[in-house]
Amino acid sequence: MLRLIVTRLLQLPLILGAVLAITLTLAWLVPGNPLERPVGRRPSAEVLQAMKAQYQLDDFAGFASSYIYNATGLKYAVESLSPTARARREAALAAGKALPPRPVFDLGPSLRHTDQRVSSIVADSLPVSMTLGAAAILLALVIGLGAGIIGALRPGSPADHASFALALVGISVPNFVIGTLFLMVFAVWLKWLPSAGIGLAGSIMPALTLSLPPAAYIARLTRMGMIEVLASDYVRTARAKGASMPRVVIHHALRNAFLPVLSYLGPAAALAMTGSFVVEKVFSIPGMGQHFVDAVLNKDLFLILGVVLVYATLLILFNLVVDVLYRWVDPRIV
């Protein structure tokens, strides 16, 4: 177990480096100039030229090397260990003053949001997306496990067909269509829920919209796993010894049938907790997804790279957690 964790953590910088290189290349190739605003105040040509030179927006190699130097913490390490930095710290301590904190991983400024750093945008939006995603995953587990168990216990029944229809809708229909339908029904026609917001009432529709696709996959995985486990010899033996059906389902069948679901939960949780780009845009939720969409539309290079790095890091860590839980649930897996 410890070897697995150490190996994955050592692989983390290499994977993030590859993700950063691919994202940086694709973002650079997107047409448009992030400094030219189509509306609002537009800076003069001299100011635009100075900003391009400051951020090296005309030099791919210069921009890439500068961003990697800042974002990976190399700049922080070099400046912290330099004699000048040591002398500045000693002078500040002698004078009884504290130096302002510097970010270890400097993700740069936003080119579209005035006077805002990417790190502050991520710090404000990530908790919103993770809260919404956690609610969506919990709903997906409740809906998916319930539908899958019912379908496995009564295969071919109306309940099984209903769970299959739910899975088909969740997998086939795009979530922005489901979200728009929820908006029309519950916000416009019935007026039961607000059309936007991040409170309890405002989070119901986006969380439910986000939960339906993973709930569909969880339902199908649970149903297939449960049917296979319920037909096994040890389940029949448990029933012959007098074990009740609920005990057999929960303590015997569901434990083994849950392993494929657990494997799926890693990327599903990372996707949900970092925000669905379209769902957050539909419901006007100020999460990472909406910021990423705006960054792509405006070619905000620093914000694009920052959001992708955060998402990739969370995806790797969530998959690591799932692998650890997988081995804890079934110690036979090495």
Structure-block tokens of residue 237: 């033996």
Band (pLDDT 50/70/90 cuts) for residue 88 is: low
The CA-atom distances, in angstroms, between 34 and each of 149, 177, 311 are 51, 30, 22
Tell me the mean pLDDT in the region 39-48. Answer: 63
Please give the pLDDT value at position 97: 66
Smallest CA-to-CA distance from 299 within 36, 105, 51 is with 36
- HSE, side-chain direction, 13 A CA sphere, residue 168: 6
Please give the pLDDT value at position 260: 83
Please give the pLDDT value at position 42: 60
Smallest CA-to-CA distance from 13 within 308, 270, 316, 319 is with 316
Tell me the mean pLDDT in the region 315-330. Answer: 78
Question: Per-residue pLDDT for 39 more than 70?
Answer: no
Please give the pLDDT value at position 138: 92
Query: Which one is predicted more confidently, 308 or 42?
Result: 308
Name the DSSP letter for residue 117.
B
Q: What is the mean pLDDT of the chain?
A: 81
Query: Which one is predicted more confidently, 146 or 239?
Result: 146
Please give the pLDDT value at position 22: 92
Name the DSSP letter for residue 109.
B
Q: What proportion of the chain, given as a percentage, has pLDDT over 90?
A: 5
Please give the pLDDT value at position 37: 59
* 221-267 pLDDT per residue, tens: 888 888 888 877 777 777 777 777 777 777 777 877 788 888 888 77
The rounded distance, in Å, linking the Cα atoms of 151 and 19 is: 40
**pTM (predicted TM-score):** 0.80
* 281-319 pLDDT per residue, tens: 888 888 888 888 888 888 888 999 999 998 888 888 888
Domains along the chain? Answer: 43-110 (no CATH), 119-329 (1.10.3720.10)
Please give the pLDDT value at position 104: 78
Please give the pLDDT value at position 304: 92
Question: Per-residue pLDDT for 139 more than 80?
Answer: yes
Q: Which residues contact 266 (CB under 8 A, 6 or more apart)?
A: 315, 318, 319, 321, 322, 323
Band (pLDDT 50/70/90 cuts) for residue 272 is: confident
Least confident segment among 19-23, 53-57, 119-123, 134-138:
53-57
Please give the pLDDT value at position 305: 92
Please give the pLDDT value at position 90: 63
